[in-house]
């Protein structure tokens, strides 16, 4: 039977995902067969596995830290909010439909727990250590009866639990004590230690607080983890965008890239590799006045494309984007953002919203009609005919993934910049994406391929074209996405290993220190 440790929090966004990632890398460094697990994720930031299944992005980062290929058993239930207290339910990597919060929590969640236990059984057979992440707080009494991600999992495995609080937001001591008080006695007994996360300053000043917590709760404080700047690890969901304070006018940045942050933005990690470039200032835009003077505008994916498009129209961002494009600013769309660039988006089955049809931005000669089935696949593509700002952009074997609902049809003989040569491990020959030079204006390009900017040479070619437009010289490749991620995981592991009582953790997990 595999050993396990479970990380729960006093609330959402306290650092459960990051501590889970750190422990995965620490145990991987120790030579263990370690695997991450989260029974149920609620996030719009998702990923497609090699076998075409959809899972939460946080478990992808944890899998990478553990030295593993992501697989859906790590996250058997994914909820993707669609608005109006409703979510698309993804079970074992496949969408099964939309449900209201009441329908899911009152009727379906306990049925989905069967998939959770089956995934756990498979993981226990193939791995020696499970690092399990909870969700939100285990003390949410209104949800606890039908909860399948916190104490129900811990009880099923008899897994020891570490409770995490974020001291950076304040009230950490009260939240730890209060959470424990609200747990049932048998649940409280499973909590074997406490962690204080995101601490800034002199850790010795916290000694009285540690003494109080241990005396008050009878639980050891395993450590105080410092606030870590610029971790370089994929964020779980768009709530983290509020923490990405990036100035539009960083004097050291040669290029400024604006990402339009719509209410249902998804897969914003598509742009993390751009943000990490030393000559780039990448910022997120919610309001017209925040758009500034970007060198490139990016329209990201969306879980509710038509409503996000209407939002751009209503808040004035559509008009602001048109003004920039008319002035020569290039515009790129990824997935839902790509669909917005066309003439029309139709949703006759109301797959995403109640809108039957919405006019697109009208830049690209194409129309998209949503269907009941979602396409989820990993792909490999070549860049075959992309003239970007006067430069021929090339690229072979660009890896990424598709995750979208809807069929896009094109008018005339459009220029497809990419050719998909492999989809879900099958050789194909599919024209993909679209680019169009707007007469006397800027260039508009779109693609369904997530992760296209993660390819170091392709990304640098795009950035150098932007640099040339500003009269700046080319730069060689500045960063390797894969190497940067490995460094980030190792750095995180080093910080957490130094911050926690690892001998005490081993005892809690039933191991000899």
pLDDT at res. 432: 96
pLDDT at res. 440: 65
Q: Which residues have CB under 8 Å from 357's CB, separation 6+?
A: 344, 345, 346, 347
- Give the separation between CA 126 and CA 158, rounded to whole angstroms: 19
Shared domain for 461 and 493, answered yes or no, is no
Instruction: Specify whether the CB–CB gap between 405 and 371 falls below 8 A.
Output: yes
Shared domain for 354 and 380, answered yes or no, is yes
Shared domain for 460 and 496, answered yes or no, is no
* 44 is a domain residue: no
Shared domain for 220 and 124, answered yes or no, is yes
Return the H-helix or E-strand segment holding 112: helix 109-126
Shared domain for 467 and 493, answered yes or no, is no
Shared domain for 316 and 399, answered yes or no, is yes
Three-class SS state of 316? coil
Catalytic positions, written as ranges? 335, 450
pLDDT at res. 246: 44
- Provide the domain limits for residue 269: 255-471
Determine the straight-line distance between the first and last CA of the chain, rounded to whole angstroms. 19
* 245 is a domain residue: no
CATH number for the domain including 365?
A: 3.40.50.880
* 250 is a domain residue: no
Dihedral pair phi/psi, residue 170, rounded to 5°: 90, 155
| DSSP symbol at 12 | T
Bin 278: left if φ > 0, else alpha if -120 < ψ < 50, else beta.
alpha
Shared domain for 409 and 496, answered yes or no, is no
CATH number for the domain including 195?
A: 3.40.50.300
CA distances from 325 to 236, 289, 467, 468 (A): 31, 16, 17, 18
Q: Which residues have CB under 8 Å from 110's CB, separation 6+?
A: 146, 148
* 263 is a domain residue: yes
CA distances from 57 to 87, 138, 241 (A): 17, 22, 15
CA distances from 20 to 35, 177, 229 (A): 10, 22, 17
* 339 is a domain residue: yes
Closest Cα partner for 267 from 449, 74, 34? 449
Structure tokens at 154: 């811990």
* 276 is a domain residue: yes
Shared domain for 211 and 302, answered yes or no, is no
Instruction: Specify whether the CB–CB gap between 98 and 87 falls below 8 A.
Output: yes
pLDDT at res. 238: 47
* 478 is a domain residue: no
* 447 is a domain residue: yes
Shared domain for 187 and 283, answered yes or no, is no
Going by DSSP bridges, is the β-strand pair 255-260/280-285 parallel, antiparallel, or unpaired?
parallel
pLDDT at res. 438: 81
pLDDT tens digits for the chain (513 residues)? 679 999 999 999 999 999 999 999 999 999 999 999 999 999 888 999 999 999 999 999 999 999 999 999 999 999 998 877 789 999 999 999 889 989 998 889 999 999 999 999 999 999 999 999 999 999 998 888 999 999 999 999 999 999 999 999 899 999 999 999 999 999 999 999 999 999 998 888 899 999 999 999 999 999 999 999 878 787 665 445 555 544 444 657 999 999 999 999 999 899 999 999 999 999 999 999 999 999 999 999 998 999 999 999 999 999 999 999 999 999 999 999 999 999 999 999 888 888 899 999 999 999 999 988 889 999 999 999 899 999 999 999 999 999 988 899 999 878 899 999 999 999 999 999 999 988 766 799 999 999 999 999 999 999 999 999 999 999 999 999 999 999 999 999 999 999 999 999 999 999 865
Shared domain for 199 and 268, answered yes or no, is no
Shared domain for 25 and 172, answered yes or no, is yes
pLDDT at res. 463: 98
Quote the number of domains for the chain: 2
Shared domain for 181 and 265, answered yes or no, is no
């Amino acid at each position: 039977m595999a050993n396990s440790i479970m990380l729960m929090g006093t609330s959402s966004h306290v650092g459960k995902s990051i501590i889970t990632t750190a422990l995965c890398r620490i145990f991987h460094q120790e030579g263990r067969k370690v695997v991450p697990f989260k029974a149920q994720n609620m996030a719009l930031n998702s990923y497609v596995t090699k076998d075409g299944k959809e899972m939460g992005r946080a478990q992808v980062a944890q899998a990478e830290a553990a030295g593993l290929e992501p697989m859906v058993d790590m996250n058997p239930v994914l909820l993707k909010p669609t608005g109006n207290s409703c979510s698309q339910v993804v079970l074992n990597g496949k969408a099964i439909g939309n449900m209201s919060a009441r329908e899911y929590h009152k009727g379906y969640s306990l049925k989905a727990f069967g998939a959770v236990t089956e995934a756990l059984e498979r993981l226990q057979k193939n791995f020696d250590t499970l690092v399990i992440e909870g969700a939100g707080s285990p003390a949410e009494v209104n949800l606890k009866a039908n909860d399948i991600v916190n104490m129900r999992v811990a009880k099923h495995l008899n897994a020891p639990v570490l409770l995490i609080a974020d001291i950076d937001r304040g009230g950490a001591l009260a939240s730890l004590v209060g959470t424990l008080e609200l747990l049932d006695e048998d649940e409280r007994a499973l909590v074997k230690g406490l962690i204080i996360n995101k601490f800034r300053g002199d850790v010795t000043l916290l000694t009285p607080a540690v003494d109080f917590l241990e005396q008050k709760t009878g639980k050891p404080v395993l450590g105080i983890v410092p606030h870590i700047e610029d971790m370089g690890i994929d964020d779980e969901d768009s709530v983290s965008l509020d923490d990405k304070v990036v100035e539009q006018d960083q004097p050291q940045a040669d290029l400024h890239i604006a990402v339009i942050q719509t209410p249902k933005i998804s897969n914003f990690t598509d742009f993390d590799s751009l943000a990490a470039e030393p000559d780039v200032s990448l910022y997120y835009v919610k309001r017209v006045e925040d758009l500034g003077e970007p060198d490139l505008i990016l329209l990201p994916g969306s879980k509710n494309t038509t409503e996000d498009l209407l939002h751009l129209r209503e808040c004035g961002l559509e008009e602001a984007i048109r003004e920039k494009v008319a002035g020569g600013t290039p515009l790129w769309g990824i997935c839902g953002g790509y669909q917005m660039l066309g003439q029309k988006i139709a949703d006759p089955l109301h797959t995403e919203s109640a809108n039957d049809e919405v006019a697109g931005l009208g830049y690209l000669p194409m129309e998209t009609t949503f269907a009941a089935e979602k396409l989820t696949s990993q792909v490999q593509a070549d860049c075959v005919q992309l003239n970007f700002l006067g430069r021929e952009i090339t690229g072979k074997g660009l890896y990424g993934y598709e995750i979208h609902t809807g069929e896009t049809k094109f008018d005339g003989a459009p220029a497809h910049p990419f050719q998909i040569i492999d989809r879900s491990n099958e050789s194909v020959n599919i024209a993909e994406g679209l680019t169009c030079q707007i007469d006397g204006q800027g260039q508009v390009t779109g693609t369904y391929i997530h992760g296209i900017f993660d390819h170091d040479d392709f990304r640098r070619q795009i950035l150098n074209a932007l640099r040339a437009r500003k009269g700046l010289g080319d730069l060689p490749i500045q960063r390797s996405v894969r190497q940067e991620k490995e460094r980030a995981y190792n750095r995180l592991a080093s910080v957490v290993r130094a911050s926690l009582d690892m001998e005490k953790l081993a005892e809690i997990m039933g191991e000899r220190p």
